Structure formats: structure tokens, C-alpha cells
């Protein structure tokens, strides 16, 4: 039907009434919104006589409320100019998408390249963000979403924590990567396609793992060397996040070698981030990526030789899906051992023990972004096990790791990073060994003289919390 149109009137003002006659006082037949198309059939008294194919009715609109375009090559420069203008104009996404649809009708295939799809994807992505952030009943926004859907722009909705998130399916960005485009356009496309917040929460483990592998392949299509440093930082941060997620998933699937490789890649990607060139708006993303890397960093460590004396920590299979950590000590009169099973991933390479041998710690990753510290303590004729969590909140994103012991073994040093109320909180703490209560805490290691003196060189060399 639309293929037969010679000229269209594209609505540019919200809202625009479709009248039954060429007078402002005549009956309103429909309300039109930015980006909608109308077939032009004539002009009368400052009004255009049009036909609305969407609603299947004729009518009149004010000529000043629309822009008229012939669907031929002569209109391509005008359509391109409007698209370029509204590409970065918040609130004009539906108008830009309508012009993009007209441009596809008017232009030759050779005139539609990656720049076109970059603009279309940018507008669709911004429209999805508007829909997510807008919590009120916005009539214009709802209408703009309908206009975008009319032209085949697909937006999907997910329920997360009682809130609806709207995401663009990214078809235009896939075209950008397939057709080429500038390094900046390729980066924007890759970042939009790999947003963690737009992952369907209903995906199962197999589909989720395949998706993360695809995210890795998408990011690999962008050359960091061709980007300005502050944009290269965004690529490194996203790669660090994806690789840290894959590290956990590979080990969970029984592929520890691939998990160690992914963990190493996540640490390397985070190390490539230039702090000097980090944009202010990227600081939150940098902190989140670092926490994810810290949660699975131990996957890249190598298990050292077993101790020749004292307690020995081992992992044995438990019930299906479980791993049991067992700490026992050989010899007559040795303290009674302890065993606990978990569905998490115990990182035996993270095992550390005090000089006196009375404390043994190991990191256990319970979830994709949540790692706890298990503390085994010898008390009299038995060992006991306590658990240190990143924070006393519902597990979401965080880790806690051992930073050292006091010389006499009576104190533990731990570093904690956790996401609370949308912000990453870091703390460097000195704990009493027997009760694991916090004795001193600081937001930076250098703010606590005790922590700074006793933290081990081993920890300082491997942690990502000192960034």
C-alpha cells in the first residue's frame, strides 16, 4: 500500500489533530504524534488534505504541523539532515525514526550505510531508556513507543526488582557491526548490544552462557587502539565484566582451564583502563566492573603445594551440584576437623593461613558476582568454621578477601567491596580473630595505619581493590 505513495506528510509536532474539514473548529478525528506518516492528497485553506492509512480515514492537518517529502532520491538529503539533527535530540526519537523509515523508502540501497543504522540505533536506544526512566503516565511517550513499533523498531520489556526495564533489541546496531562504520560507531553498537541490564532474567543457564559468549564475540569486533582513550576505557570495562562472568560460568560447567583464562582476561582488561582518562560518567561502571572482576579473580590463581605439616584443606564431591570443603589435621591428639558443603565454587588457590597455623581462609564464590570468605579457626581440640560475607544485605554484587594477618595472628585484615543502594562501597578492615568483629575500618587502606602496615605484599600484588 505504502509503495504507491508519491508524497507523504510526516508529523513533526505533538499532538497534531486530524480534522474532518479544513478548519480548526471542525471535528477532531484522531490525534497524531511525531513521526507518523500521512498520504498527501491535496491542499486547502492552509491545511493539507491527507489520508491516514494506519487508521484508514481521510482528514485535514495544518501544513505547519507536518513536513512534506516526495519518496524519491531528491528528498534523501533533506531526510538525512533531519535524522542527523534529531539523532542527539532527547524527546525527538519517534520523529527521527519516522524520517529513517522515509529515507529507506526514498534512497537507493547504496545510500544506506552504517551511519544510517548508527543514527537509527541511537534513537531507538534512547527511546528505550526514556521508557525505563519515566515512571509517570506520559501520553506522548506512550504514543512515541507506538510510532516506533509501527516502523518495526522492536523494544522488549523485563521485570527486574519490581520495576520494568525497556530495552531495544539492537537490530540496527548489528547492521553497524556488519557493514563497518567508524570506530566510535562500532563501539557504541557493541556497548548497546552487550548491556548486562538488558539480559532476559528468564534465560536458563545454557542460554545464558551462550549469550555471554556472544557478548564476548561482539566486543572482540571493536579495535580499542582506534579509539580515544576515554572511549577505549568503556570497551575495556565491558570486556572485564563479560570475562569475569564467563570465568564463573566456565568453572561451574566443569571447564576450569577456560575459567582461569577468562579470569586472567578480565584482570588484564581492567588493568588496561586508564584512570587519568576515565570520564566522570564512567566511574560508576568502573567500580561495578572491578567488583565483578574481584569476585571471580581467584579463578586465575594456581593451587600451590599442600602443606607438609598442620591442617590440610581439601574439596570433595557432595550431593549433586555440591562441593564439600574439609579441613583436618593428621597426628595423634590433633584437633577435630570440620566439613561444610556448598553449592558455591570454592577457590582452593585462594587458601591462606596465619604464621601460627591457627587460621585458614579460603574464598568461596556463591553466585556470579558474590564471593565470601570462609574462615577456619582452631580452638582447643577442634576446628570451627565462620563465614564472612561482603555485607549483611541480600546477595547481589560484592566480594570479601583476605589482605593479611597481624604478626601474632590475633587479627585478620580483609577488604570488602559491595554494591549497596546503587553505589559501590569499599572498606578495609581489621577484625578480631576470635569473634571476627570489626576493630578498625577505613574507606582507603592508607587511612588505616594498622591495615597499611600489616597488609601482605601477596595481597597487594593480586587484588583489584587498590585501583
- Percentage of the chain beyond pLDDT 90 is 78
DSSP helix/strand/coil, 329: strand
Q: Which three cell numbers stand for residue 40?
A: 498527501
Residue 2 has pLDDT above 60, yes or no: no
What is the mean pLDDT of the segment spanning 347-357? 92
Decide: 46 and 21 in contact? Cβ < 8 Å. no
- Give the separation between CA 390 and CA 393, rounded to whole angstroms: 8
> What's the predicted TM-score (pTM) here?
0.89
Q: What pLDDT, in 10s, does the model give residues 36-50?
A: 999 999 999 889 999
Work out the burial of residue 2: count CB atoms within 10 Å of its CB; fewer than 13 is exposed, 13-18 middle, 19 or more buried. Answer: exposed
Of the ranges 84-88, 220-224, 297-301, the best mean pLDDT one: 220-224
Helices 139-150, 114-133: axis angle to 10 degrees equals 150
Alpha carbon distances (Å) from 193 to 96, 102, 122, 320, 368:
21, 25, 12, 35, 20
What is the mean pLDDT of the segment spanning 254-281? 95
Residue 373 pLDDT grade (very low, low, confident, very high; cuts 50, 70, 90)? very high
- Which of 211-215, 258-262, 376-380 shows the lowest per-residue confidence on average (mean pLDDT)? 376-380
- Give the separation between CA 106 and CA 83, rounded to whole angstroms: 14
Q: What pLDDT, in 10s, does the model give residues 58-67?
A: 999 999 999 9
H or E segment at 176?
helix 171-179
Residue 163 pLDDT grade (very low, low, confident, very high; cuts 50, 70, 90)? confident
Higher pLDDT, 324 or 336: 324
- Give the separation between CA 277 and CA 267, rounded to whole angstroms: 19
According to the model, what pLDDT value does residue 3 have? Answer: 47
Residues of the chain with CATH 2.30.30.40: 2-70
Instruction: Tell me the CATH architecture of domain 2-70.
Output: Roll (2.30)
Q: What pLDDT, in 10s, does the model give residues 394-404?
A: 888 999 999 99
For residue 164, give the nearest of 206, 131, 191, 192 by alpha carbon: 131
Residue 333 has pLDDT above 90, yes or no: no
Q: What pLDDT, in 10s, does the model give residues 406-417?
A: 999 999 999 999
Buried b / exposed e along 75-93 (16+ C-beta atoms within 10 A): bbebbbebbeebbeeeebb
What is the mean pLDDT of the segment spanning 252-263? 95
Residue 385 pLDDT grade (very low, low, confident, very high; cuts 50, 70, 90)? very high
Amino acid at each position: 500500500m505504502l509503495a504507491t505513495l508519491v508524497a507523504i506528510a510526516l508529523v513533526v509536532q505533538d499532538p497534531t489533530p486530524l480534522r474532518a474539514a479544513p478548519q480548526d473548529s471542525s471535528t477532531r478525528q484522531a490525534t497524531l504524534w511525531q513521526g507518523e506518516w500521512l498520504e498527501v492528497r491535496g491542499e486547502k485553506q492552509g491545511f493539507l488534505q491527507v489520508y491516514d492509512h494506519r487508521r484508514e480515514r481521510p482528514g485535514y492537518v495544518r501544513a505547519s504541523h507536518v513536513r512534506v517529502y516526495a519518496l524519491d532520491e531528491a528528498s534523501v538529503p533533506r531526510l538525512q539532515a533531519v535524522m542527523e539533527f534529531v539523532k542527539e535530540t532527547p524527546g525527538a526519537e519517534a520523529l527521527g525514526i519516522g524520517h529513517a523509515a522515509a529515507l529507506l523508502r526514498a534512497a537507493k540501497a547504496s545510500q544506506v550505510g552504517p551511519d544510517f543504522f548508527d543514527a537509527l540505533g541511537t534513537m531507538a536506544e534512547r527511546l528505550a531508556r526514556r521508557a525505563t526512566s519515566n515512571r509517570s503516565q506520559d501520553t506522548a511517550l506512550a504514543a512515541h513507543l507506538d510510532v516506533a513499533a509501527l516502523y518495526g523498531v522492536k523494544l522488549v520489556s523485563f521485570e527486574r526488582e519490581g520495576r520494568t526495564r525497556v530495552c531495544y533489541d539492537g537490530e540496527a546496531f548489528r547492521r553497524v557491526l556488519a557493514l563497518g562504520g567508524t570506530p566510535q560507531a562500532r563501539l557504541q553498537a557493541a556497548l548497546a548490544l552487550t548491556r548486562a541490564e538488558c539480559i532476559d532474567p528468564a534465560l536458563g543457564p545454557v542460554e545464558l552462557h551462550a549469550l555471554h559468549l556472544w557478548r564476548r564475540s561482539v566486543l572482540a569486533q571493536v579495535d580499542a587502539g582506534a579509539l580515544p582513550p576515554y572511549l577505549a576505557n568503556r570497551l575495556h570495562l565491558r570486556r572485564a565484566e563479560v570475562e569475569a562472568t564467563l570465568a564463573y560460568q566456565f568453572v561451574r560447567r566443569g571447564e576450569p582451564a577456560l575459567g582461569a583464562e577468562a579470569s586472567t582476561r578480565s584482570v588484564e582488561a581492567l588493568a588496561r583502563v586508564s584512570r587519568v582518562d576515565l570520564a566522570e560518567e564512567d566511574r560508576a561502571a568502573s567500580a561495578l566492573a572491578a567488583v565483578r572482576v574481584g569476585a571471580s579473580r581467584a579463578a586465575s590463581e594456581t593451587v600451590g603445594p599442600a602443606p607438609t605439616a598442620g591442617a590440610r584443606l581439601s574439596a570433595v564431591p557432595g550431593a549433586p551440584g555440591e562441593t564439600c570443603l574439609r579441613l583436618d589435621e593428621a597426628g595423634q591428639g590433633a584437633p577435630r576437623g570440620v566439613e561444610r558443603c556448598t553449592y558455591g565454587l570454592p577457590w582452593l588457590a585462594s587458601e591462606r593461613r596465619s604464621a601460627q597455623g591457627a587460621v585458614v581462609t579460603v574464598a568461596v564464590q556463591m553466585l556470579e558476582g558474590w564471593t565470601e570468605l570462609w574462615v577456619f579457626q582452631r580452638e582447643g581440640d577442634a576446628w570451627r568454621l565462620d563465614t564472612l560475607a561482603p555485607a549483611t544485605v541480600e546477595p547481589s554484587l560484592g566480594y570479601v578477601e583476605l589482605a593479611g594477618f597481624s604478626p601474632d595472628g590475633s587479627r585478620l585484615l580483609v577488604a570488602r567491596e559491595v554494591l549497596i543502594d546503587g553505589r559501590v562501597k569499599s572498606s578495609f578492615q581489621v577484625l578480631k580473630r576470635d569473634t571476627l568483629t570489626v576493630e578498625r575500618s577505613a574507606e582507603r587502606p592508607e587511612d588505616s595505619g594498622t591495615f597499611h602496615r600489616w597488609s601482605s605484599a601477596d595481597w597487594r600484588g593480586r587484588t583489584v581493590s587498590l585501583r
